[in-house]
Amino acid sequence: MTNATVDCGGITVGTSCAGGSESQQPVFTLNNATIKNVHLKAGGAADGIHCVAGNCRLENVVWDDVCEDAATLKDAGVTMTVSGGSANAADDKVFQHNSKNSTIYIENFSTTGRIGKLYRSCGDCTNNGGPRFVNINNVTMNGSTGTIVGVNRNYGDKATIRNLKIKGWKYPDSGGEICMEYIGVEKSSGSSSELGLFWNTASCDVSPTDVSGF
């Protein structure tokens, strides 16, 4: 889809799912485009949706089951906005952020089932770097979760999180697994390493009052 807004009218589509294989193709590729009102079927979501150029918008998109990733931002200097919609059961992550100097907005979104991460700034991309920005507002997570967000401190990434609601979450008993800071690396130069979970830092702009349980 290029330079277009496509309203799918609530239809369910899909291709295949090869588990966590990163060689899978996306179901949709957006080039400065908007996609609205579509379900990606369980067992057919492949590598989800790729925003490869320009500003992209995903409105009321539902992943009945996430395969590899639900959506990935690949173009530098642009935005990908996820507004409304939901995702179920992501073993690894829901949103993958590869491109530098770019922003993902996630708003009025929800998840169900087991979610590994809601968002990850790429830890080991080719020509890796940053900064990368994510803004999360009014997201509800109704299921088990790992760490919610992962960002690379050494690349200047920043996560801003507000109005995050998590089933069973209670501070401090269910802790601070909201924002993990990493050291990102160049592809084939080892693995990205964890620095720890943080509140109110340059990379993790979130405090316990920005998160609530239900």
Average pLDDT over residues 65-91: 97
The DSSP secondary-structure symbol of 2 reads B
Q: What is the pLDDT of residues 142-198, one digit of tens each?
A: 988 889 999 999 999 999 999 999 999 998 877 679 999 999 999 989 999 999 999
Q: What's the domain count of the chain?
A: 1
- The token duo for 11 is 């239809």
Q: What is the DSSP string of 190-214?
A: ---EEEEE-SSSSSEE--GGGEEE-
Domain boundaries, position 78: 5-213
In Å, what is the CA distance from 14 to each residue of 26, 45, 60?
Answer: 10, 5, 16
Decide: pTM greater than 0.85.
Answer: yes
d(CA 146, CA 65) in angstroms, rounded, equals 17
Report the DSSP beta bridge partners of residue 28.
Answer: 49
CATH number of the structural domain spanning residue 149: 2.160.20.10
Q: Give the pLDDT band of residue 119 (cuts 50, 70, 90).
A: very high
* Tokens coding 70: 């639900």
The contacts of residue 83 (CB under 8 Å, 6+ apart) are 57, 58, 59, 60, 105, 107, 108, 109
Q: What's the pLDDT tens digit per position in 1-46?
A: 999 999 999 999 999 999 878 889 999 999 999 999 999 999 999 9
